[in-house]
Amino acid sequence: MRRGIELCGIKLGSIFDDKAFTILNKEVIPGGDYMITVNSPSFIYDAYFKNINVLHTIGGNEISMVVADNGGGSSREDCMNIINQLNNDYLEKYGDYYDMYVSENDKECSYMYYFYPPNYNVVSFKNPKSLEINEPIMQLLLIANQETNNEYFTLEAALSYFEETEDNKSPE
């Protein structure tokens, strides 16, 4: 079962429907994707994020990334309170369906959440192709970036699929 993770009510991997959103801007970005700025799909997310962008390939409509920010002008403490609330929300909503791991860098105020489907690395002896039906690993980055020349922060979030690179691999 493909449950999917969402950010601002937009589920990663779902099909982007132009009619379901108020589109503020649509542009082609390097790499052959559309970046579409949408109005917040629900008022409940306004407390966290104001600017929401959805990415999908030009040839398809499957959402490959959701990026959001709070518009800036927040204190570090406010950003941390929102990050802590989002942490609780994601644990409550997805904790029973995914194995969640978090990597935090408190100095830079960044948190990377990884959502592994249960038994992600388990291959059935009876059906070796069972690994092919596994849902991909998803990741959520929450980061509070200090704005230039002042003490204010912008809270940013990016939800995407995890892509393992050579840098991510540990020596065996």
Quote the percentage of the chain above a pLDDT of 70.
83
Q: How far apart are CA 16 and CA 118, in angstroms?
A: 26
CA atoms of 8 and 63, how far apart (whole Å): 13
Task: Inform me whether the pLDDT recorded for 170 exceeds 50.
Answer: no
pLDDT in tens, 46-90: 778 989 999 998 888 899 999 999 999 999 899 999 999 999 999
* CB distance 76 to 153 below 8 Å: yes
Question: What per-residue string of b and e applies to 107-124 under the rule 16 or more CB within 10 Å gives b?
Answer: eebbbbbebbbeeeeeee
